[in-house]
Amino acid sequence: MSNPHRISIFLILLLFLGLIFVAVSDLLSFHEDDFDLSEALVQVQVQTPRHYDSFDVEEPVNYLLASKRRIRSCDPFTADEATVYYVPSECFDAYIDRAQNKVLNHLVSVAVTDENGTPLEAPAVLPDIFAQIATLEHTLFDIRILDVSSEYFVFLKLNVNLHTPCELYYYNQQIGKLIELYSFNDRELLGLHVNLKLWVKVRPDWRNRASDLRTLGYDAK
């Protein structure tokens, strides 16, 4: 057997093993949390996307998501109507920060389109959401912003080599931050139902208190 053939076989085996590793890691890392329905922030329906080389598509699955990245299965539900804004890839420029050894993002422009690429007028809150998206690590793609009755969610994918994290965030307009709800592996968001409740906690300078933010389920960063 010639060296090129051996190299080709080796690369194919390496890719195959990598895919198995990702599938097993995804299965082992997923666990359902025990929490009451009243604690759920949103209900989401997700599905494994149809790849170009596959004719099998997983049935849609339904989850409840709560604060502190908790998840559990739920029954099918009726998704809320949502306006979906698609973010062109050129709005963010990924670069390597050598000092931190991380892939970071620079905000280039604020622009949104519909699913056909037709430009849309951006709501007033979108520049703030874009600024928050720019704080995320890794190369970003397939970014979508969902407006559900003036509550905003961000669903995006990360380019991290062997697997495709698909992250869902809620934009808290009171504190001006993205709150990560959950990170799926290679999923498409089909719909969501919002079950947000507003809790008012009066304490001086609570937005800048790490302990208060953690109590509410937010990342102190």
pLDDT tens digits, 156-193: 999 987 778 999 999 999 999 999 999 998 889 999 99
As a whole number, mean pLDDT of residues 133-150 equals: 96
Alpha helices in the chain (DSSP H): 3-29, 126-133, 210-215
Q: Is the pLDDT of residue 1 over 80?
A: no
> What DSSP line would sit under 36-77, residue for residue?
-GGGEEEEEEEEPPPPTT----PPPEEEEEETTTEEEE----
Domain ranges of the chain: 1-30, 31-215
Residue 59: CB atoms within 10 Å:
6
pLDDT tens digits, 22-63: 444 444 445 788 887 778 888 888 886 655 445 555 688 899
Residues 6+ apart with CB under 8 A from 98: none
